[in-house]
Amino acid sequence: MELYQIKTFVVVAEEGNMTRAAKRLHASQSTISLHIKSLEDEFGLRLFLRTPRGMQPTSDGNALLDRARAVLDSVEALESEARNRKGELSGVARVGLQTSSIYLRTPQLISCIKENFPGLTLHLVQMPTWSILADLAARKLDGGFFYSNCPPKDINCILLEKTVLHVVGPAAWKDRMENAGWEDLSKLDWIWTPEECSFNVKLKETFSARGLDVSKVMIADSEETHNALVKSGNGITVMRGDEAAEGVNNGSFYIWPGGHIEIGMYFGFPHNKDGDPLVRALIDCVEKVWNKA
């Protein structure tokens, strides 16, 4: 049994799909299949069933999965101890960004890393919040920024701020929005967010608490698309204060004056990795640039 076979076993179980597992492991599907078959032959057990929904662990596979993860955790702990003893930190840290790098203070983060950990390289990956949360739980990322209404249970995280979200419409809709209440807003055309999005959850709570249904004319999963759709007069949405103010300044947006909602901005990292020197370096620098140190 080899360590790479154990890692393949865990990744296939987490992804539930050979193509995604191969992409994550930077290997061919035939190589992934060979790893799984070799483990099954060595154990004398069937680890997966191929189903229309993908690769599903068998009962034996599920029984062995936690132990396989424990093996990988032990290897990570060994690598972490080696980095500690080496003294100077080096390597690549993968960090997920769910929104504007300027808003996330990424330039300041990079400067802090360069100054304090010159051997550490940042690999910045742009992706939506729900993908960042999944990749942190699966340990594909070393850290990541995300919005959430409450701290997730399957990762560790730090609350950086309560982000203010404004209801924003096209500048030409000022007369329709200026004296509107929540009930009036609910009847306007809304550019909504996907089910997985924390903005979606917060908006549902806000309208449901008032017994209101919303007129949703479209769903878009990126802030850039929301901005473009509002500018072109397709409807209203919610967006961060800095984005809303920029749109007002260039004559594209109108900010509803009747209130706002708030959502948590977090920096997260995998469970039990806050002692890893690489992750610790990220946490230290994030806390410095967000004034949490």
- Could you tell me if 33 and 69 lie in one domain? yes
pLDDT in tens, 23-46: 888 788 888 889 899 988 999 989
Q: What pLDDT is attached to residue 29?
A: 86
pLDDT at 124 over 90: yes
Q: Which amino acid, one-letter code, is at 213?
A: D
- Per DSSP, the three-state class of 147 is strand
Q: Which stretches of the chain are assigned E, i.e. beta strand?
A: 48-51, 54-57, 91-97, 120-126, 143-148, 156-170, 190-192, 216-219, 237-240, 253-269
Read off the CATH number of the domain in which 76 is found: 1.10.10.10
Q: Do both 176 and 67 map to the same domain?
A: no
Q: Which of 85, 112, 137 is the last residue of a domain?
A: 85
Do 63 and 124 fall within a single domain? no
Question: Do 118 and 209 sit in the same domain of this protein?
Answer: yes
> What does the alpha-carbon distance between residue 85 and residue 30 come to, in Å, rounded to a whole number?
38
Domain end residue (candidates: 85, 120, 155): 85
Residue-number span of the structural domain to which 53 is assigned: 3-85
Same domain flag for 191 and 257: yes
Helix axes 106-116, 277-289, angle to 10 degrees: 130
For residue 293, the model assigns a pLDDT of: 67
Q: Based on the domain organization, do 79 and 130 belong to the same domain?
A: no
Q: List pLDDT tens digits, range 231-265.
A: 999 999 999 999 999 999 999 999 999 999 999 99
- One domain, residues 147 and 67: no
- 103 and 245 inside one domain: yes
CATH number at residue 237: 3.40.190.290
Give this prediction's pTM: 0.76
Higher pLDDT among residues 183 and 23, named by residue = 183
Q: Which residues contact 199 (CB under 8 A, 6 or more apart)?
A: 147, 165, 193, 238, 263
Which distant-in-sequence residues (6+ apart) come within 8 Å of 132 by Cβ? 96, 98, 141, 144, 145, 146, 268
Of 36, 59, 85, the position where a domain reaches its end is 85
183 shares its domain with 230: yes
172: DSSP letter: G
Residue 122: per-residue pLDDT: 93
Residues 159 and 284 in one domain: yes
Domains contained in the chain, number? 2
Q: Which of 228, 227, 224, 164 is nearest to 199 (CA)?
A: 164
Judge if 107 and 248 occupy the same domain: yes
136 and 276 belong to one structural domain: yes
